[in-house]
Amino acid sequence: MSSSVPSLKVHPDDNVSIILTAGGLPAGTELDTGAVLLENVPFGHKVALADIASGGPVIRYGEVIGIAKQPLAKGAWVNEHMIELPEPPALESLKAPVVPPKALPPLEGYTFEGYRNADGSVGTRNVLGISMSVQCVAGVVEHAVRRIREELLPLYPNVDDVVALNHSYGCGVAINAPDAVIPIRTIKNIALNPNFGGEVMVVGLGCEKLRPEMIMLEGDDKASKMFLQDEGLTGFSAIVDDILMQARMHLERLDKRQRETCPASELVVGMQCGGSDAFSGITANPMLGAAADLIVRAGGSVMFSEVTEVRDSVHLLPGRAASPDVVDGLVREMAWYDAYLQKGGADRSANTTPGNKAGGLSGIVEKSLGSVAKSGSSPIVDVTGPGERLRRKGLTFAATPAGDFVCGTLQLAAGMNMHIFTTGRGTPYNLPTTPTIKVATNSGLASRWFDLMDIDAGRIASGEISVEEGGWELFRLILDIASGRSMTAADKLGIRNDLVLFNPAPIT
Ligand code: CA
């Protein structure tokens, strides 16, 4: 006696379906789609639903994710070894829509408790960020941060933490190269992140190429800087004392910040994925997309990023462009990145990892189609370059590399006050400065990493919740965590990653 086993066909036009059974399925299993497995197929992987000729398209999400390199029989396992990538969408063919997309209906009445800053931005945490103009000072700053945490923070109970805004830039770099603008504006804009309350404190060495003045706002009387090479400072303890004295001045003011009720329109949410699998695009990323729509409807700001994961889906985006400038921006950022990869002798296929492939993703096209689901369905109002600050509320494509820490660091520079991160393979990733909510794409990961994940989106695959219900659940959790009413799993555990700068310019 045999009964057919459910598998997931994502789009009616697809000629593959996804294995949903934990541990995979053995040869001979009959799927509900009619295919009988010709071999063992792992969890999350694809099965051909019809015979596919050599050179024929493999279709998932209703899009061509690959070209068969060999004949694929109905019931065969379809993985990265059997397909070639199609050409990426031609950038010249992207055109703005004749009729601009309609905005989603507004959503009123949602608020969170945040720290309102003088420039109008709103923080979700109250953190002293210590910026630096060059890596040479990082060891000394780390030492000072340890002492600040132990000796000063107990005196300022309203301040959550102190964080060294560490980076590898500042000297030994081609400071005037055209692309140097990216790391320089990133360092500057990170210090302006709303969680730091406008209290910009920069530690420099003295002889570096990146002058602290280049990363400070002119005329900001709350900003302070010091140099380790200052001739008035004799010995290590005098240097550290000077950093502590400046820190105290900023802590005094940060300690006076109070949470107040702010509309959800003050949320600035960065969406990201990492350690993705075949479920990223059908559970967690659509859940983020649904939450993104709610945030945009509430008047807030959402950014999606990761250029190499948008490149192969970019033809799906112009219809959502709120203006021709958005299409121009998409073309500009995609073309810049194509050239950047080409200069390094690579292309967008370098994106997928062994873990992605083991998780059922056969290439960057398939990964990309799942990745852009994080953007939801609202109009795209703007496109920004790496390290730029957001200019508009609504949905922005903020161009960044897809590497997790680099993307998160650039979204931080854009002004992000909440970060949402999906993972299928599992990563403990967490930013030191901004709450990072982690969403598991499958229930196996969510239960194995019960204390590292915040939300189990695998319930969407099992039918327990809908994508819309998941979006509301995430939206409410964002408001809760932004208000300081609850903490993310990784923050409870105190796990932090480094900020990692994107420097496409030469090093000397
Ligand atoms: Ca990523």
Q: pLDDT of 331-350, one tens digit each?
A: 999 999 999 999 999 999 89
The Cα–Cα gap between 69 and 54 comes to: 5
Together in a domain, 133 and 7? no
Q: What is the pLDDT of residues 217-243, one digit of tens each?
A: 877 888 899 999 999 999 999 999 999
Residue 442 lies in a domain: yes
Residue 273 CA to ligand 1 center (angstroms) comes to 5
Residue 94 lies in a domain: no
Together in a domain, 437 and 338? yes
Residue 425 CA to ligand 1 center (angstroms) comes to 12
Residue 2: pLDDT band with limits 50, 70, 90: low
- For residue 323, count CB atoms less than 10 angstroms from its CB and return exposed for 0-12, middle for 13-18, buried for 19 or more: middle
Average pLDDT over residues 411-435: 97
| Ramachandran class of 436: left when φ > 0, alpha when ψ lies in -120 to 50, beta otherwise | beta
Residue 215 CA to ligand 1 center (angstroms) comes to 26
Residue 210 CA to ligand 1 center (angstroms) comes to 28
Whether 486 has a pLDDT exceeding 90, the answer reads: yes
Q: How many domains does the chain have?
A: 3
Average pLDDT over residues 188-202: 96
Which range of residues forms the domain containing residue 182?
A: 127-254
Residue 340 lies in a domain: yes
Together in a domain, 242 and 275? no
Residue 428 CA to ligand 1 center (angstroms) comes to 13
Average pLDDT over residues 17-31: 95
**pTM greater than the 0.75 cutoff:** yes
Together in a domain, 368 and 471? yes
**Residue where one domain finishes, among candidates 254, 280, 300:** 254
pLDDT score recorded for residue 388: 98
Whether 124 has a pLDDT exceeding 90, the answer reads: yes
The Cα–Cα gap between 440 and 489 comes to: 12
- For residue 31, count CB atoms less than 10 angstroms from its CB and return exposed for 0-12, middle for 13-18, buried for 19 or more: buried
- Among residues 92, 157, 158, 19, which one has the least CA distance to residue 461? 19
Residue 91 lies in a domain: no
Instruction: Please check whether residue 18 is in contact with residue 61, taking contact to mean a CB–CB distance below 8 angstroms.
Output: no
Together in a domain, 146 and 16? no
Residue 114 lies in a domain: no
**How is residue 333 written in tokens?**
């950022």
Together in a domain, 268 and 246? no
pLDDT score recorded for residue 239: 98
**Bridge partners (DSSP) listed for residue 17:** 47
Together in a domain, 424 and 471? yes
Q: What is the pLDDT of residues 350-400, one digit of tens each?
A: 999 999 999 999 999 999 999 999 999 999 999 999 999 999 999 999 999
Together in a domain, 189 and 285? no
Q: Residue 319, Cα to own-chain centre: how many angstroms?
A: 23
Residue 99 lies in a domain: no
Whether 152 has a pLDDT exceeding 90, the answer reads: yes
Residue 508 lies in a domain: no
Q: How long is the chain?
A: 508
Average pLDDT over residues 298-306: 98
The Cα–Cα gap between 151 and 244 comes to: 10
Together in a domain, 468 and 333? yes
CATH of the domain at 227: 3.40.50
Residue 220 CA to ligand 1 center (angstroms) comes to 34
Residue 1: pLDDT band with limits 50, 70, 90: very low
pLDDT score recorded for residue 425: 95
The Cα–Cα gap between 301 and 417 comes to: 10
Together in a domain, 302 and 425? yes
- Among residues 407, 402, 298, 409, which one has the least CA distance to residue 348? 402
Average pLDDT over residues 73-86: 95
Whether 172 has a pLDDT exceeding 60, the answer reads: yes
Residue 507 lies in a domain: no
Residue 422 CA to ligand 1 center (angstroms) comes to 9
Q: Residue 187, Cα to own-chain centre: how many angstroms?
A: 18
Residue 305 CA to ligand 1 center (angstroms) comes to 8
Residue 399 CA to ligand 1 center (angstroms) comes to 12
Percent of the chain with pLDDT over 90: 96
DSSP state of 104: P
Q: At what angle do helices 236-254 and 138-147 cross, to 10 degrees?
A: 60
pLDDT score recorded for residue 216: 87
Mean pLDDT of the chain: 96
**How is residue 127 written in tokens?**
């953190």
Together in a domain, 338 and 453? yes
**Residue where one domain finishes, among candidates 254, 270, 290:** 254
**Residue where one domain finishes, among candidates 190, 222, 254:** 254
Sheet with strand 455-456: strands edge to edge: 380-384, 394-398, 301-304, 268-273, 418-423, 436-440, 455-456
Together in a domain, 346 and 466? yes
Residue 447 CA to ligand 1 center (angstroms) comes to 22
